[in-house]
């Protein structure tokens, strides 16, 4: 068996792992590279998936960095099944549609620049029809029961606690009369977080391919982060200021709305206007409501009592571009939650352009920021940033709220791995910047006596 690494090696985007045996070819995730120009350029490099027949695709969850290159497969005439949980497919439909239109707008803008300088225009990564061709291929699966996905390959999905429907994947691969168990952690959520259940660990594996997004550090606890956020929000309310939150449409948005609902219910914050300025996040929030059987016990109690719905209805949904523009004239105090989470595009860019220069504005950064993104520049404390070609002074206060992350911190990653460590698996560390991967690898070596491997883009390992 050979496993090829087509992304998430040295960075946190582009997850794609190609498993090949003599009789089967399975892809686990097919994500888009995100970040600066150098990262995005990788999406145009041919991943050598066509070097062998592809029998099936298995998805861990619906974030763009795990599904964004799926249309490239149908563009290459892939007609096989795609396996994932039903909530993952529900969200993926929204994410891919949104991504296509954003890419089209970005490409049109880039090609206008290229035309003015006499350069050859770029071709689109894929067309809308390539996205539409994915629909007949979907094969929803439930958590836990194994499913035959290719000759000699069974897949079993368990809850990863990251976003609704997210999964860790266990592949049981039979070849030459021998069986090997290969585990893909996917993105793991933090233990004890509200709304979703804790990630489910495995107890035995021959190989573990593990994420390390926060392998070099822990978050502040959610409780500490929530208390700190309430203080920032209370101050902004007192100063009649705007609070800008660049949001990831799936996961972080719903967690924040849930926590705000709880704060209103418990009267730890006074009610104030909240605007959800992201059509994608609005639709994703509705999907969360459809699948509340996957919520944890505390959230199900709030659903049953009606408290959650009542409090969430206080958020105003901004579906159209016109709704978004109106917010420029809205006076504080208010919170504007707008896409996208790393500030690489979307409606948040306009709100930042209009408000970053105001000292009373508060910006809450609630997720990981890749190098090269505007979000990372804000986190790193740049005094001015370029938005739509205009230099904007950063006088607003910028607050990094790591405890709201949908990713497990270092301790929770180690706890998840500790369950499978006694089986002495071969360990492959991916989906993290090199510093995080190396730190996490050293911890596994020192705590469990295993020597993890750190692959590079395009590498192959043989099992």
Do 329 and 430 sit in the same domain of this protein? Answer: no
Q: What is the pLDDT of residue 47?
A: 57
Do 125 and 140 sit in the same domain of this protein? Answer: yes
Could you tell me the pTM of the whole model? 0.88
Q: What is the pLDDT of residue 185?
A: 98
Segment 224-235 mean pLDDT: 93
Q: Report the distance separating Cα 210 and Cα 187, nearest Å.
A: 8
Domain boundary among 381, 404, 427: 404
Segment 3-21 mean pLDDT: 93
Q: What is the pLDDT of residue 42?
A: 86
CATH number assigned to the domain comprising residue 294 = 3.40.50.10890
Greater model confidence, 23 or 221: 23
Distance of alpha carbon 105 from the chain centroid? 22
Cis before residue 333, ω within 30 degrees of 0? yes
Task: Indicate the pLDDT class of residue 194, thresholds 50, 70 and 90.
Answer: confident
CATH number assigned to the domain comprising residue 180 = 3.60.15.10
Asked if residue 437 has pLDDT above 70, the reply is yes
Q: Report the distance separating Cα 404 and Cα 382, nearest Å.
A: 23
Residue 428's SS3 state is strand
Do 200 and 257 sit in the same domain of this protein? Answer: no
Looking at the DSSP assignment, which residues form a beta bridge with residue 210?
429
Task: Indicate the pLDDT class of residue 234, thresholds 50, 70 and 90.
Answer: very high
Asked if residue 52 has pLDDT above 70, the reply is no
Do 63 and 75 sit in the same domain of this protein? Answer: yes
Q: Name the residue range of residue 241's domain.
A: 222-404
pLDDT tens, position by position, 95-154: 999 889 888 888 898 899 899 999 999 888 899 999 999 999 999 999 999 999 999 999
Domain boundary among 383, 404, 425: 404
Q: Nearest 5°: phi and psi at 335?
A: -115, 130
Do 130 and 264 sit in the same domain of this protein? Answer: no
Q: What is the CA radius of gyration of the chain?
A: 22
Lowest average pLDDT, out of 167-181, 282-296, 411-425, 449-463, goes to 282-296
Segment 382-399 mean pLDDT: 94
Looking at the DSSP assignment, which residues form a beta bridge with residue 172?
154, 181
Asked if residue 380 has pLDDT above 80, the reply is yes
Name the residue with tokens 């071969």. Answer: 426
Please name the residue ranges forming H helices in 217-306: 222-238, 252-266, 279-290, 297-305
Closest CA to 3 of 208, 211, 150: 208
Task: Indicate the pLDDT class of residue 39, thresholds 50, 70 and 90.
Answer: confident
Lowest average pLDDT, out of 25-29, 88-92, 290-294, 436-440, goes to 290-294
Asked if residue 50 has pLDDT above 80, the reply is no
Do 83 and 145 sit in the same domain of this protein? Answer: yes
Q: Percentage of the chain surpassing pLDDT 70?
A: 97
Segment 415-419 mean pLDDT: 98
Q: What is the pLDDT of residue 307?
A: 66
Segment 350-363 mean pLDDT: 96
Positive/negative CA dihedral, 443, 448, 449, 452:
negative
Element (H, E) at 200: none
Asked if residue 36 has pLDDT above 80, the reply is no
Task: Indicate the pLDDT class of residue 85, thresholds 50, 70 and 90.
Answer: very high
Asked if residue 312 has pLDDT above 70, the reply is no
Do 261 and 346 sit in the same domain of this protein? Answer: yes
Q: Report the distance separating Cα 43 and Cα 63, nearest Å.
A: 16
Provide DSSP, 52-71: S---EEE-S--SHHHHTTHH
Q: What is the pLDDT of residue 84?
A: 98
Asked if residue 250 has pLDDT above 90, the reply is no
Do 128 and 165 sit in the same domain of this protein? Answer: yes
Q: What is the pLDDT of residue 186?
A: 97
Do 312 and 203 sit in the same domain of this protein? Answer: no
Report the number of distinct structural domains present in the chain: 2
Torsion of CA 273, 277, 280, 281, to 10 degrees: -30
Q: Are 62 and 165 in contact (CB under 8 A)?
A: yes
Q: What is the pLDDT of residue 299?
A: 85
Do 389 and 411 sit in the same domain of this protein? Answer: no
Do 431 and 370 sit in the same domain of this protein? Answer: no
Asked if residue 51 has pLDDT above 60, the reply is no
What does each C-alpha distance from 429 to 48, 191, 227, 259 come to in angstroms? 21, 20, 33, 32
Torsion of CA 307, 309, 310, 312, to 10 degrees: 110
What's the mean per-residue pLDDT of the chain? 92
Could you tell me which residues come within 8 angstroms of residue 31 by beta carbon, excluding any fewer than 6 positions away?
7, 8, 13, 14, 15, 16, 63, 64, 65, 66, 67, 68, 69
Task: Indicate the pLDDT class of residue 200, thresholds 50, 70 and 90.
Answer: very high
Q: Nearest 5°: phi and psi at 393?
A: -70, 140
Do 273 and 360 sit in the same domain of this protein? Answer: yes
Closest CA to 237 of 277, 268, 276, 270: 270
């Amino acid at each position: 068996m050979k496993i090829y690494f087509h992304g998430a090696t040295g960075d946190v985007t582009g997850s794609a792992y190609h498993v090949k045996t003599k009789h089967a070819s399975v892809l686990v995730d097919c994500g888009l590279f995100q970040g600066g120009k150098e990262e995005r350029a990788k999406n145009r490099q041919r991943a050598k998936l066509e070097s062998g027949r592809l029998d099936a695709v298995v998805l861990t969850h619906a974030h763009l960095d795990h599904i964004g290159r799926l249309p490239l497969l149908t563009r290459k005439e892939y007609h096989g099944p795609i396996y994932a949980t039903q909530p993952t497919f529900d969200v993926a439909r929204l994410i891919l549609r949104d991504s296509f239109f954003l890419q089209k707008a970005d490409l049109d803008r880039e090609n206008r620049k290229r035309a003015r300088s006499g350069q050859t225009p770029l071709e689109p990564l894929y067309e809308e029809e390539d996205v539409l061709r994915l629909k007949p291929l979907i094969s929803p699966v439930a958590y836990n029961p194994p499913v035959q996905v290719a000759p000699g390959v069974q897949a079993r999905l368990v809850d990863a606690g990251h976003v609704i429907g997210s999964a860790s994947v266990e592949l049981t691969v039979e070849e030459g009369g021998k069986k090997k168990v290969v585990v893909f952690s996917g993105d793991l959520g933090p233990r004890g977080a509200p709304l979703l259940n804790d990630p489910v660990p495995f107890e035995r594996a021959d190989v573990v391919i593990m994420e390390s997004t926060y392998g070099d550090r822990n978050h502040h606890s959610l409780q500490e982060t929530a208390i700190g956020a309430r203080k920032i929000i209370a101050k902004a309310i007192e100063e009649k200021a705007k609070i800008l939150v660049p949001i990831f449409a799936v996961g972080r948005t719903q967690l924040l709305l849930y926590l705000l609902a709880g704060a209103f219910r418990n009267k730890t914050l006074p009610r104030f206007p909240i605007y959800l300025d992201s059509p994608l996040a609005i639709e994703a929030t509705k999907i969360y409501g459809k699948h509340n059987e996957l919520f944890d016990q505390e959230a199900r109690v709030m659903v049953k009592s009606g408290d959650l719905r009542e409090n969430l209805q206080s958020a105003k949904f901004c579906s159209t571009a016109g709704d978004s523009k109106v917010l420029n004239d809205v006076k504080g105090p208010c919170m504007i939650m707008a896409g996208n989470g790393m500030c690489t595009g979307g409606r948040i860019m306009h709100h930042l352009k209009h408000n970053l220069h105001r000292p009373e504005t508060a910006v809450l950064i609630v997720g990981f920021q890749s190098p090269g993104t505007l979000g990372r520049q804000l986190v790193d404390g740049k005094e001015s940033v370029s938005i739509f070609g205009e230099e904007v002074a950063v006088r607003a206060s910028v607050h990094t709220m790591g405890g709201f992350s949908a990713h497990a911190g270092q301790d929770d990653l180690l706890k998840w791995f500790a369950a499978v460590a006694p089986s002495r698996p071969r360990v492959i560390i991916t989906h993290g910047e090199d510093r995080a991967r190396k730190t996490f690898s050293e911890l596994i070596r020192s705590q469990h006596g295993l020597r993890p491997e750190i692959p590079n883009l395009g590498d192959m390992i043989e099992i």
